[in-house]
Every structure is written in structure tokens, then in C-alpha cells.
A and B are shown apart, each in its own frame.
Chain A
Amino acid sequence: MKLGKEEIQKIVLGVLLFFGMVYSYFNILLGPLLAREDAFEKSIKGLGPATAIANAQIAQTKQMEAEAPKVAMIVHQVNAMIPPGSPVAWFPTRMADFFKAHGIERVTTRLNSESIDKRYTGYRKLTWGIDATRVGFVQFAGAIAALENDEPLIEITSIQIDAGREDVEMQHVLITVNNLVKQ
């Protein structure tokens, strides 16, 4: 079979059209579509964990909210232990009354320093020196036990006991305590 010139032209044209069509199909139609599909699939995959994280965050906060009253209760209890007003006005009197109630007279309380501890937000730490000039060791130990039980906000950081020269039964005691007060 011999092809005429016109038929050859038609075949060449057909082949060109075929390649043009295939190129256009993959580059203009299918290629961008598949790329968009891929992008959407990735976005959907990315949204899954993000949604899960958001849900977990909400659940965790809800759980913390449920525990919040307990936390607030502790802070409320601590605040209730701190009398209103300037600590210099009430703390020395309180200590004098306390030791007097335990049979220790002549107690002097002085403010040594004041600091802010970052751990205790909303509170400041005051350091006091409490001086008792004549006190028996056993009596003093009893008073310290009561102080540690009755005043949870007070922490004794040092104790110095000196035996008296004239009366060995009586000691001179100096204790350093710190307590928390509201800022």
C-alpha cells in the first residue's frame, strides 16, 4: 500500500496532535490536579494531629480547672494565717504573747531583714531575731515545740543558747526565724 502525499501529511498532523494532546493533558490538566490533591492530602494529614493536640490541651486545662479549688484552698488557708496590717506591728507582740503563755518573759523580737522569694508568689519573707534573756532549757524546748506546731508559717533558721555565768540553770537564747507575709 502506498501512502499519498496528502495522507502522509494527515498522519504527521495526527501524530503532532497526539503528542500535543498528551503534553497538554499531563501538564495543564492532570499534573496541577494531582499536585493540588497531594497538597490537600498533606493538609488533611497535618490537621489531624493539630486537632488532637488542641483537644488534648482543652482536656488538660479542664482537668487543671477541676483541681484549681484545691490549690485555691491552700492559698486561702495560708492567707488566713496571716493577720492584716504591718507585720512589724503584730509579729513582735504575737511572739511576746506566745512565749509569755509558755512561761518565758522578757522576749524581744526585732526585724532583721525582708526579702522576696520568687517561689512564693504574692508573699514576702521577713527574718526576725527573737531574744530571750533568761530561760530554762527544758522550758525553752517546750515552747519551741509549741511554736513549730502552732505557727506553720514560721521557720526557725538558727538557735543560739548560751549558759548563764551566774545561774547555770538559766540560758540566754537567740533564735532567728523567718515567716511569710502578704506582699
Chain B
Amino acid sequence: MALHLNLYHEIQKTKALKRRDPLKISLYVLGAIAIAFATYYVIQVLYMHSLVEDFNKKKADYDKLAPIAKTAKKREEELTLKVKASDALVQRLEGRFYWAPVLEQFITVVPREVQMMRLNGDLPGDGLPRCAIGIDGLSAGSDPRKVAEQLRTALADAFKTRFKKVTSTFRTLEDGTEMVMLDGKQTPTATFAIVLQLYLTDSAPEQAPTRKKR
């Protein structure tokens, strides 16, 4: 084998060293990173631009709507007041307590053996939709107390159909001192006072709690 001498090895070595120069390679890497950063930044700037456009468009829409909505809210408040006032009027007109049917019931229920001396009806206005009626009268017959009792129960039964809850109680029931003529006979009498409570709703007032005995 013939001896081969490379007289350029010095030049080739220098060239190879230049090719593998770390400074140059790191500069290339740095350049690549810089380009990547710049590209990402540009993408973000473009995205930001689109966001700004979107925001401006939506803000313009909202700025147009906001004063209209504000006026609408004010108008709604005015209308709500009017509606409330109107509802209150309707409620008053339709939610009145009608006395005529109550008086009609008295005409049908009170028997001929009873003389009503006083009828006192009142809407207490304590928040509960109810009517309190006090009836003072005179009952006559062979057993006038029984007649008064029959009137009390008859009143309760008669009003039960019309009202949610009815209570009918005696405030007083006493034998009368005078005798009255009924069907040509002198009959004894009894004086009574009945309290009739007519509730328009189921919510009757709760009884006061009784004190515990020690």
C-alpha cells in the first residue's frame, strides 16, 4: 500500500473546528428561540386585536342598551305602582264582606218563638277576614232555653255552608222574668246573647296559651 500524505490536514481541521463552533451553534439556537418567541407574540397580538374588536362591539351594543334599560326600569317602577294601586282597588271591590246574605240567613233561621232585640255585626279589622255578630234576644216556649239552643246551633249550621269556619257561642243564657203570649198561651221566656264568628278563611286565631299550674 502506497503511503498517502494529506498535506491539507491542518486546513481541514481548522474548517471542522469552525463548523462545530459552540458559539455559532448557540447563536443559531438563540435565533431559533427568538423567532419562536416573536411568532408566539405576534399570534397573541393578533388574538388581542380580535378581543379588542369583540369587546368594542359588545360595549357599543351595551352602551346603546343601557340608557334604554334604565328608562325602562324607571317606567316599570311607575307601572308597578299603578298595577299595585289597581290591584288594591280590585281587591277592595271583590274582597268586600257582603252583609245581605248574612241578613238573609237570619230571616230564614230565626224561628217565630224568638224575638231578636239587638243584632250587632262588625268587621273587626284585626287582619283576619272575619265577621263578629252579637245577637241579643228573647226566646219563648215551654222550654225557652232549648229554643235558644236550637237557634244557636241553627245559626252555626246555616252559616257553615257559606263560611270556612263558624263559631256560635252563648255569652249569656238566663231565664226571663216575664211571660209572653204565644199561640194564645202564657209561656215562659229566656234571654240570651249569642256571639257568632264567621271566618272567611281557615286561619282562626290561636287560643292564648294557658298558664301551667305549679
Q: Which chain A positions have C-beta within 8 A of B90?
A: 74
Q: How large is the interface on B (under 10, 10 to 19, 20 to 34, 35 or more residues)?
A: 35 or more
Q: Is the interface of A mostly helix, strand, loop or mixed?
A: helix
Known: A37-B48, A51-B61, A71-B82. A65 touches B75 (CB 8 A): yes
User: Which one of B22, B100, B121 contacts A145 once the chains associate, using CB atoms below 8 Å?
Assistant: B100
Q: Which chain A positions have C-beta within 8 A of B99?
A: 144, 148, 156, 159
Task: Report whether B62 and A137 are in contact in the complex, using a CB–CB cutoff of 8 Å.
Answer: no
Q: How large is the interface on A (under 10, 10 to 19, 20 to 34, 35 or more residues)?
A: 35 or more
User: Which one of B47, B84, B122 contacts A157 once the chains associate, using CB atoms below 8 Å?
Assistant: B122
Tell whether A25 is near chain B: CB-to-CB under 8 Å: yes
Known: A43-B55, A47-B55. A159 touches B119 (CB 8 A): yes
Q: Chain A interface (Cβ within 8 Å of chain B)? A: 1, 3, 7, 10-11, 14, 17-18, 21, 25, 29-30, 33-34, 36-37, 40-41, 43-44, 47-48, 50-51, 53-55, 57-58, 60-62, 64-65, 67-68, 71-72, 74-75, 78, 119-122, 137-138, 140-141, 144-145, 148, 152-153, 155-163, 168, 180
Can you name 10 A-B pairs with beta carbons within 8 Å?
A11-B23, A51-B58, A54-B69, A64-B76, A119-B85, A121-B85, A148-B98, A153-B93, A163-B115, A163-B116
Other than the given A36-B48, A37-B44, A137-B106, 16 more pairs (CB < 8 A) read A1-B20, A11-B23, A43-B59, A54-B69, A62-B72, A72-B82, A75-B85, A75-B86, A120-B85, A137-B103, A138-B107, A141-B104, A148-B96, A152-B96, A160-B121, A162-B118
Which 7 pairs from chain A and chain B are nearest by CB? A145-B100, A54-B69, A61-B72, A141-B103, A119-B88, A54-B65, A121-B85
